[in-house]
Structure 1
Amino acid sequence: MKPIIGIGTNHLVRPSQHMSTNYVDYTQKNYVSSLVNAGALPLLLPISDPEMAAAYVERVDAILLTGGQDVSPRLYGQDPIPQNELNDWDRDQFEQGLIHAAIAAHKPILGICRGIQLINAVLGGTDYQDIPTQVPNAIGHNQFPTDWASPVHRITTTNGSLLQQIYGKQAWVNSFHHQSVRKVAPGLTVTATAADGVVEAVEDSDRHILAVQFHPEMMAATNQQAAALFTAFVNSVRDTLA
């Protein structure tokens, strides 16, 4: 039986040249293909009223929170700095509902990029709103226009972590972000960092949470470790269903 993984979607908040005034909900195909190749059945969850989040979670076995806009500092009680970019409060609130509902139902959560930042903020932590401005001696964390699947900086993992089981003590990953975890939320354990100390992964076995700052879905087609991360997540979902 294939576990059903609900993918939190993004949506257009203004007209685009391609879609005109069609304000679509969407997700990148590589999130879907990575889950399919890991043996799961993906189900896209449109951004809705936060009160509907629990009903969506009821119908899936786990949640994947994807990349996208900056996480609003409203979630951790701060005003935006000038370098804070596009926020989407509707998405923040809906995905906050997904997180709380999944935890209450003991269903696993995988967060990627924005996903790790949102999980941390929702559970009581704070985020860096802009790494180049707020992190001393920061390395480059946005590799654009370098190819999405190319690894560009190292991470160091912690002993005993799932990340270390998958990636080893050190590994190279890709990087597309300017925000990151700052104060770690209670209950989350940092399990990977970059050379400048930026948090690259957190885990919480009690609440079935795994979240990474890099983008394994962009590398999964060509990188064995990235593909293995999705397999490990899907297997953890199977374990909760056993």
Structure 2
Amino acid sequence: MKPIIGVTTDVNDAGTQTLGSSYIEAIVRAGGVPFIVPTGIDEDVQRVASVLDGLVLTGGEDVDPVHFGEDPHPQLGKVTPERDSAELLLARQMLNANKPLLGICRGMQLLNVVFGGGVYQDMTAQYEKPLVQHKQLSKRRYAAHDVKVEPKTKLQAIAGKDLIRVNSFHHQAVKDVARPLIASAAANDGIIEAVESTEHTFVIGVQWHPEELAKNGDAMSLRVFESFVNACGK
């Protein structure tokens, strides 16, 4: 049987819950059954988690800094408290059950927060070194900058090489990597581009959007989803 993969939604200013079709398409191509998980499920996260074989924490707006013990920076973007609440609770349930998680962009940052780590609320204002362009102006399917993958990591086994090229749409980034996570990839400026758990079967976060690159035919990006869905099926 194909594994059931939960996919979290975003919430726009009108209160409408949204989800890009690229996530759905990537999961289907990788052999999973997408199951859209909305906000507002806080009281039922245990039941929701029990029917899921894996969870994708999707991209979106900023994580509220209250969840990592900081006041809002002047350059903090839009936060969505109801989304933070649902995703944090659901991620903890999945982790406690050792079910696979894949965090994408904001989802990677949220993973780090779940484990007690922090986030740069705005890289331009808070990161000490010169930055490459992390919020590209080119189309989403275009890979814009290089990422160095750490050897002997799950991500390197998936990528099959030490240097990959990714797309990029973020102004926040993982700051203090919280154990049992480790940094498994970084951009040339040192910004962390991927994390993974050393204590769970499959917990990986990537700062880029492999669902968009997979849609454009990038084999490595599709392998990210295939490896995740395969882990969900075990």
Instruction: Tell me the TM-score normalized by structure 2.
Output: 0.95
User: Which residue of structure 2 aligns with residue 186 of structure 1?
Assistant: 179
Q: Does 1:175 align with 2:168?
A: yes
State the aligned residue count: 230
Aligned partner letter, 2:66: R
Partners of 1:236 and 1:205 lie apart in 2 by 15
User: Which residue of structure 1 aligns with residue 206 of structure 2?
Assistant: 212
Determine if contact 1:76/1:125 at 8 Å carries over to the other structure.
Answer: yes
Q: Deviations over 1:133-164 (max 9, x none)?
A: 111211110002x0111111000011111211
Q: How far is the alpha carbon of 1:49 from its aligned partner?
A: 3.9
Partners of 2:43 and 2:174 lie apart in 1 by 27
Determine if contact 1:51/1:97 at 8 Å carries over to the other structure.
Answer: no
Q: Deviations over 1:28-87 (max 9, x none)?
A: 000000000000000001101423212111111011000001011101110011100000
Q: Deviations over 1:176-221 (max 9, x none)?
A: 0000100011210110000111110011142231110000001102
Determine if contact 1:49/1:94 at 8 Å carries over to the other structure.
Answer: yes
User: Which residue of structure 2 aligns with residue 87 of structure 1?
Assistant: 79
Aligned partner letter, 1:50: D
Partners of 1:213 and 1:102 lie apart in 2 by 20
Aligned partner letter, 2:11: H
Q: Does 1:235 align with 2:227?
A: no
Name the % identity. 37
- Determine helix, strand or coil for the equivalent of 2:177: coil
Aligned partner letter, 2:214: A
> Which 5+ residue runs of structure 1 have no aligned equivalent?
16-22
Of 201-210 and 103-112, the range deviating more from structure 2: 201-210
Q: Does 1:141 align with 2:131?
A: no
Partners of 1:172 and 1:234 lie apart in 2 by 22
Superposition pairs for residues 62-211 of structure 1, below 5 Å?
A: 62-135=54-127, 136-144=129-137, 146-167=138-159, 168-207=161-200, 208-211=202-205
Partners of 2:61 and 2:140 lie apart in 1 by 17
- Determine helix, strand or coil for the equivalent of 2:139: coil
Q: Deviations over 1:65-117 (max 9, x none)?
A: 00001011101110011100000111101100011100111211100000000
Determine if contact 1:148/1:174 at 8 Å carries over to the other structure.
Answer: yes
Partners of 2:28 and 2:61 lie apart in 1 by 25
Misfit runs of 4+, over 4 Å: none
Q: CA RMSD in A?
A: 1.0
RCO higher in structure (CA 8 A, sep ≥6): 2
Aligned partner letter, 1:158: E
> Which 5+ residue runs of structure 2 have no aligned equivalent?
none
Partners of 2:17 and 2:72 lie apart in 1 by 26
